[in-house]
């Protein structure tokens, strides 16, 4: 029979196994954390540019609406121009929300 050259008992071996498992779990967490931080760093510039683009698009829509109000105001006056522009914008927003809700409800019924 082979002799045990070390004096470690089963308790020592199990505690070493537990410590190794903990070290392995922490190492895996560190790997996933590093991957996540790299992905965040890779997409950070794209996200910032996307937000800036949305802000500029929002400003362009506001400028368009102001231009529509000013154009209509020459014929109908500023109050009616504002009422017509806001009403048309709210109507368009309502139609878009209705379409979005119908798409979501159709997808929900398909499941």
pLDDT at 3: 54
| Cα 83 to Cα 87: distance, rounded to the nearest angstrom | 6
pLDDT at 108: 80
The burial of 73, by beta-carbon neighbours within 10 Å (0-12 exposed, 13-18 middle, 19 or more buried), is given as middle
Give the C-alpha distances (Å, rounded to integers) separating 52 from 42, 45, 55, 66, 95.
17, 11, 5, 21, 27
Please give the average pLDDT of every successive group of 10 residues along the chain, which has 111 residues: 63 91 95 93 90 96 95 94 95 95 86 69
Where are the domains positioned within the chain?
A: 10-110
pLDDT at 56: 97
The burial of 79, by beta-carbon neighbours within 10 Å (0-12 exposed, 13-18 middle, 19 or more buried), is given as exposed
| Cα 85 to Cα 88: distance, rounded to the nearest angstrom | 5
pLDDT at 88: 95
pLDDT at 92: 95
């Amino acid at each position: 029979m082979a002799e045990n050259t070390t004096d470690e008992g089963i308790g020592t071996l199990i505690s070493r196994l537990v410590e190794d498992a903990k070290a392995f779990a922490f190492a895996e967490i560190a790997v996933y954390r590093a991957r996540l931080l790299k992905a965040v760093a890779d997409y950070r510039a794209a996200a910032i540019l996307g937000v800036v683009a949305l802000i500029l698009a929002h400003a362009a829509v506001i400028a368009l609406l102001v231009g529509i109000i000013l154009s209509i105001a020459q014929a109908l006056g500023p109050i009616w121009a504002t009422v017509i522009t806001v009403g048309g914008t709210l109507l368009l927003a309502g139609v878009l929300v209705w379409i979005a809700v119908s798409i979501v409800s159709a997808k929900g019924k398909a499941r």
